[in-house]
Amino acid sequence: MRIATWNINGVKARLETVKTWLREHAPDVACLQEIKSVDEAFPAEAFEELGYNVEVHGQKSFNGVALLSKHPLSDVRRGLDGDAEDTQARYIEAVVEAPDAGGIIRVASIYLPNGNPVDTDKYPYKLAWMGRLKAHAETLLAYEEPLVLAGDYNVIPTADDVHDADAWEGDALFRAETHAAFREIVNLGLTDAFRAVDPRPHQYSFWDYQAGAWQKDNGIRIDHLLLSPQAADRLVTCEIERVVRGWEKPSDHTPVVAEFSI
């Protein structure tokens, strides 16, 4: 089973790009972020024609996450507990039922808050959201089932995951508080799928549109698949599909794909 995560930066602007990639690579599950669409306007039929079941948690013009699956989806959950006033669409989760592939796997698509500027309420919101994610992940891990928490975490885990650490000092994606909150989530017993199979430094999943970042390979790695022990035991490989960043009308992110023996 192949599970992908991809911040597509607007489904309306990137629809043909996403469809082309899905046709070429046909992952079993695609976790999309920043779809920038309400549920009713999301082009579900375009993905259903490619053989996908579709679940969406959308928001007008901002945020929004979706799950596309070649297998049936059940137990769908939209949003995180812990803040009844939070209206931002950043989390969707479902059980992927794949008995023909040997069982089930629970998958979430996550668009963690950016947090910049750090001297505004956006940064406390980011840290609080990460705390809510940790609490929910702890609950899910108690199920002792294959679990993949995939998405745009807006977290650069280490200096090995950024082209120039000094340039990102003080940024919400690279602050000490962000690193500490991310470690608390990982230390619940989760495995970074990409790092589990590829220790090479300076492998990126995001390149800004500005200042020739793509051409200079000035990137960062912020798109992650965090795995429960039951999923990590089944991990075969994980790759960043960086070539997609060079396509016409690309997202500033590129897909990250993990393969499991499920």
- Residues labelled as active-site residues: 111, 152
Q: 179: buried, middle or exposed (CB in 10 Å: 19+, 13-18, 0-12)?
A: middle
CA torsion 149-152-158-160 (nearest 10°) is 110
Task: Give the whole-angstrom CA distance, residue 20 versus residue 25.
Answer: 9
In whole angstroms, how far apart are CA 251 and each of 11, 56, 232?
10, 19, 28
Q: 245: buried, middle or exposed (CB in 10 Å: 19+, 13-18, 0-12)?
A: buried
Task: Tell me the CB-side half-sphere exposure of residue 192, using CA atoms within 13 A.
Answer: 20
In whole angstroms, how far apart are CA 228 and each of 44, 80, 198, 235, 261?
29, 18, 18, 10, 14
Q: How many CB atoms lie within 10 A of CB 171?
A: 18
